[in-house]
Amino acid sequence: MERVPVLAICGSLRPDSLHRALLTAVQDRAPRIRLMGAELVRDLPLMDPALDRPDSLPSAVREFRMLAEACAGAVIASPEYVHAPSGVTKNALDWLAGSTALYGKPVLLLSASPGQTGGLRGLAGLIPTLLALDAGLVDPVSVSRAPRRIRPDGEVTDVGLDLRLEIAVEQFVDAMAVGAAPLATR
Ligand SMILES: Cc1cc2nc3c(=O)[nH]c(=O)nc-3n(C[C@H](O)[C@H](O)[C@H](O)COP(=O)(O)O)c2cc1C
């Protein structure tokens, strides 16, 4: 069975990242999709419009855009830093500005934090950007007290989180099958 390619963005560069663990947990629950490119964001330069020309486009940006265009959706696991989105994630999305890479495609947002809000404010800050890119958002998942509920290898140790991830993955895969309409047209 050929798996559906899905762009993965991990907004944390930290070894043992809870967000990489969430991506692993999603992959474990979605055998029909193949999460790809989670580490590409590490190589993206900081957004510089002067580089965004055919003769000077960095190869990492070209690779990232081509993958995003080829994928049927995206799963973005992104931390909250100082009550705002991770700059790593925002920078990656900025490189998709002006492209149709996420147009009408389902996007599942995930966050995790040791704190009580689970990184929700970081996700909230990404929503205007994703709407501007015409992504089709599905219900996001924010995980509070995350180190008690998921291990760095992606093993989920909390029944409630296990169920929430199952539901989120099912919604996301269903949305890809249907082909989500851009939010602006709903
Ligand atoms: C610079 C910095 C700022 C942070 N700010 C917040 C914050 O505003 N809210 C929050 O819930 N956690 C915050 N945290 C904690 C992160 O949620 C926590 O480190 C989380 O595990 C990061 O994700 P990771 O495990 O994937 O690296 C911050 C961490 C760092 C390093």
144 lines ligand 1 (CB under 6 A): no
Question: What's the pLDDT band for 1 if we cut at 50, 70, 90?
Answer: confident
In short, whether 125's Cβ falls inside 6 Å of ligand 1 is no
Domains: count for the chain: 1
User: Which residues span the domain enclosing 168?
Assistant: 4-185
φ and ψ of 157, to 5 deg: -110, 10
CATH, residue 154: 3.40.50.360
For the CA of 116, the closest atom of ligand 1 is 11
From CA 184, how far away is CA 52, in angstroms rounded?
Answer: 26
Predicted confidence (pLDDT) per residue in 137-162, tens digit:
999 999 999 999 999 999 999 999 99
Q: Is 110's C-beta closer than 6 angstroms to any atom of ligand 1?
A: no
Global pTM value:
0.95
72-84: per-residue pLDDT in tens?
A: 999 999 999 999 9
Asked if residue 58 has pLDDT above 50, the reply is yes
